[in-house]
Structure 1
Amino acid sequence: MPIRIPDALPATEILEGENIFVMTEFRALHQDIRPLRVLILNLMPTKIATETQLMRKLSNTPLQIQVDLLRTKSHEATHVSAGHLETFYRTFEDIENEHYDGLIITGAPVELMEFEEVDYWEELCRIMDWSSTHVHSTLHICWGAQAGLYYHYGIQKYRLPKKASGVFEHRLLKPKSPLVRGFDDRFYAVHSRNTDVKIEDVKAVDDLEIVAVSDEVGLYIVKSVDSRRFFVFGHPEYDTDTLKLEYERDVKRGINPEIPTNYFPDDDPTRAPLNVWRSQAQLFYTNWLNYYVYQTTPYDLEKVGE
C-alpha cells in the first residue's frame, strides 16, 4: 500500500525509482478511507536524506499514510535550502491544534551538549508535551530517544569513552512483544552515537520496559508500558552507505575517527559495506505502525490523546 507525500518532494522520485508505491495527492483524496497521519520532526542536518530513509520504511506496509514534516523554528538549518523547508515543512504553530496517529522524533548531532544548551530545547519540550494529548504513539530515535527519556522520565545521558559506531549484534528481552514480531533471536542493528543511557536507570522506572539490548553497546529498544512512547537508540532507518558517509565526513574534518565496528569487510574502508540490518529495520517500523498505531488509534482523530 502507498505512502502519501507531496508530489514534488525529492523523496518521491527516489522512492518511485525503487519501485515503492507512492500515492499522489489527487488519488489519495479520491479514496474513501482515512489514512494514518504521521508527523516527522526532522532534527537531522541531512534533512532530505533522513526524509527519504524514514519514508522508505513507512511505505512498505499495507497502510495508507499521510506524512507531514515538522521543523524547529528556533533553529536555522544550514544544510538544506530555505525553499525546501518553506515548501515541505511546517512549524509547531502550524500544527499545534491538529492531532496525529503517529509522531517520529529523529536524532540530532547535539549529543555532547547538555539538553538545556540545545538552542531548540524549549521548543522540543513543547512538542513532546503536546504529543501526550495530540499524538497516539510517538517514536523517538537515537538522541531523540535520550531527549524523550530525559524529558518524560528524568533519565540522564552519559558520555561514552568512545563513539558507538557500527553494526552490532542484539538480543531480545521481550521476544513476545508485537514490536519485535518476526525478529530473529539474534539480529543486527546500526548505532552512531557518543552518549548512552544506563540500563539500570531505565529499569528503575516502572512505566518503562526494555525490549532489546546489545551486549556491546547496551540499550536498543525501550517502550512505555502503556505503548504510547517508543525509544530506539540506534538508527534502523540508515541506508547501507550512511555510516560510510559519516566516517568519510569525520576523516575530512580531521577528527581521526575509528572505523565503524563490523561494517566494512575486513575493516577496510575502501570496500563496500554489506547491509545486514535492513530486514529487521523494516520489521521494526512495520510492527510499530501496525500494532501500536493503526490497530489502536481512534478513527476520529479528535479523540487522540483522550
Structure 2
Amino acid sequence: MDGDNQTTITEFLLLGLSGKAEQEEVLFGLFLGMYLVTITGNFLIILAISCDPHLHTPMYFFLANLSSVDICFSSVTVPKMLVNHIVGSKSISYIECMTQIYFFITFPNMDGFLLSVMAYDRYVAICCPLHYTMIMRPRLCILLVAISWVITNLHALLHTLLIVQLTFCSHNAIHHFFCDPYPIMELSCSDTFINDLMVFTVGGVVFLTPFTCIIISYAYIFSNVLKMPSVCGIQKALSTCGSHLTVVSLFYGAILGIYMRPSSSYSVQDTVATVIFTVVTPMLNPFIYSLRNQDMKGALRKVIL
C-alpha cells in the first residue's frame, strides 16, 4: 500500500484454526455444513414469518430481522475461509480485510440491539398486555430497528477508520480464519492505545447498553411474573422468554469474554469462543426459536410441506 494508508503490506494471511492439513480438511467440512444449516434455517424462519399472517406481529418482525442479520453475520467470515481452502490460498487483501472488519463489527452489534428490542417487546407483552398493541405500533418497531442500524454502522465506521490509521510493517500472518480486529491490532507496529481506549469507552457503551436494557427488562418481567396468581400463567409467561434468554446467554457469554479487554491479552484459545458467536450461535438461533414455539412450528410446516 502507499504511504497514505501508512502500511507497507498489501495483504494478510489467514492461517486458520489449525496448521495441520488433515485438520483443515475436517474444519472445512464442519464449517461448510454449519454455514449451510445457518443459511437454510434462518431463511426458513424469514419465509415462514413472511407467509403466515398470524406471525405478522412485533415479536416475529424482530425475529425475522434477527435471522436476516444472522445470515449476513455468518456470510462475513465463513465464505472467505471456504473459498481460500478450495483455491489453496490463505491470503486476503488489505481492502477486503478492512471491509470484513467493518461488517464483522456491524452485525454482532446489530444482534445485540435486536435482542434488546426483543426483550423490551416481551416486557410490554407480559407487564402491559392491555396496552401492547398501542405501545408496539408498527411505526415504533421500524423506528427501533432503523435507529439500531444507524448506531451500529457508525460504531463500525469509527473502529474501522482507527484500524486503517495503524501502521503495518512486515508481519501479516493472522492466526485466525477471518480478520478479527484484535489479531489485526496485534500485527501493528504502531501504538494501539487509542484503539483499546475506544473499545473500552465507545465499544463498551454500544455493547453494554443493549445488555443492560435486557437485564432491566427481565428484572421487571420476573417481578411481574412472581405476582401472577396461577402457576399456569407463570409457566406461559416464562415459556415466551426461555428461547430469548438462551440466545442472549450464548451471544453475550462469548462476546464479553473476548472483546471487553485489551487486545494485547488476546490468545489463540479465544478463537474457540469466537467460533461460538460467529458460527454456532447464528446456526442455533432458528432451532432455539422454533423448537418450543408451536406457532413457528406450524408456519414452518406449511412452508416445508
TM-score under structure 2 length normalisation = 0.28
Q: Whose relative contact order is higher, 1 or 2, with alpha carbons under 8 Å and at least 6 apart?
A: 2
Q: TM-score, normalised by structure 1?
A: 0.28
Q: Which protein has the bigger helix share?
A: 2
Q: Which one has the largest radius of gyration? A: 2
